[in-house]
């Protein structure tokens, strides 16, 4: 029995109607801008460690935390690992492409550790992970799990629960740490909103058989 249970796989669950909203495609090609209180750079290993009120922006992507380690591989891809202060969570936010005249959409989340992979263009929220989608400034979806991975290119989300340390090994899958999700219904462009429920009205024409 592994210590971590994969309890949920959400394929484009937060992507809205198919083909309508995607992550900003140009973000991976934008430069990485970083602000922090201190920096330690290793030229040989091509790594930089920023510490103290770190804020990283890359296009519409925003990462915030207590410490950020950045490295670049031989192909020029950038990688970042953000650590939060003890007891807190690091922060991630990204704007999504939307259809013309559609409300703005953002995805944001938190985790004690956040990993950004510039080659695969995904973000991983580790420990106490939470991912939310906002449409027009209103919360649409809210997902919580031990580890959440969000791919910016495919809009695929995977969410892992975690087995509790005091859970017996014979416990059924999914009965330990649980994934929690609130998913708003999706509507396609031009679709009519559901009609409001009509209040019940009393009737004097009831035909009660057998009375």
Mean pLDDT of 23-50: 84
Report strand pairing: 22-23 vs 33-35.
Answer: unpaired
Count of H-run helices and E-run strands, the chain: 0, 14
How confident is residue 24, by pLDDT bands cut at 50, 70 and 90?
low
Mean pLDDT of 94-99: 83
Identify the residue with better confidence: 164 or 118: 118
**Is the pLDDT score of 28 beyond 80?**
no
Q: What is the pLDDT of residue 190?
A: 53
Contact 56, 33 (CB under 8 A): yes
Q: What is the pLDDT of residue 110?
A: 97
Contact 71, 79 (CB under 8 A): yes
Q: What is the pLDDT of residue 181?
A: 73
Beta bridge partners of 50: 39, 68
Q: Average the pLDDT over each of 14-18, 31-35, 121-125 and give the range with the smallest value.
A: 14-18
**Is the pLDDT score of 13 beyond 50?**
no
Contact 94, 105 (CB under 8 A): no
Our CA angle for 63, 83, 162, nearest 5°, is 105
**Is the pLDDT score of 119 beyond 50?**
yes
Q: What is the pLDDT of residue 188?
A: 53
Contact 124, 35 (CB under 8 A): no
CA separation for the pair 41, 149 (Å, rounded): 28
Q: What is the pLDDT of residue 208?
A: 40
Q: Please tell me what DSSP assigns to residue 60.
A: T
**Is the pLDDT score of 32 beyond 90?**
no
Contacts of 152 (CB under 8 A, 6+ apart): 23, 24, 27, 28, 94, 121, 122, 123
pLDDT digits (tens, 9 = 90+) for 122-177: 899 999 999 999 988 899 889 999 999 988 777 788 898 765 455 444 443 333 46
CA separation for the pair 97, 22 (Å, rounded): 5
Identify the residue with better confidence: 22 or 206: 22
C-alpha closest to that of 184 among 148, 143, 141: 141
Q: Average the pLDDT over each of 21-35, 57-71, 84-98 and give the range with the smallest value.
A: 21-35
Tokens of 169: 């090994």
CA separation for the pair 185, 66 (Å, rounded): 36
């Amino acid at each position: 029995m592994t210590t971590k249970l994969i309890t949920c796989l959400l394929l484009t669950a937060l992507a809205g109607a198919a083909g309508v909203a995607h992550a900003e495609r140009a973000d991976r090609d934008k430069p990485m801008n970083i602000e922090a209180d201190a920096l330690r750079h290793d030229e040989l290993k091509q790594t930089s460690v920023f510490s103290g009120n770190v804020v990283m922006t890359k296009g519409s992507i925003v990462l915030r935390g207590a410490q950020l380690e950045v490295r670049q591989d031989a192909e020029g891809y950038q990688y970042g690992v953000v650590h939060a202060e003890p007891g807190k969570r690091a922060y991630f936010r990204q704007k999504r492409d939307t259809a013309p005249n559609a409300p703005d959409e953002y995805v944001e989340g938190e985790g004690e550790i956040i990993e950004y992979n510039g080659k695969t263009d995904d973000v991983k929220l580790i420990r106490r992970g939470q991912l939310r989608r906002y449409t027009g400034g209103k919360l649409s979806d809210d997902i919580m799990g031990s580890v959440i991975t969000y791919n910016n290119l495919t809009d695929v989300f995977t969410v892992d629960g975690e087995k509790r340390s005091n859970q017996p090994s014979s416990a059924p899958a999914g009965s330990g740490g649980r994934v929690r999700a609130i998913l708003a219904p999706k509507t396609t462009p031009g679709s009519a909103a559901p009609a409001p429920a009509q209040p019940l009205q009393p009737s004097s024409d009831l035909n009660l058989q057998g009375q």
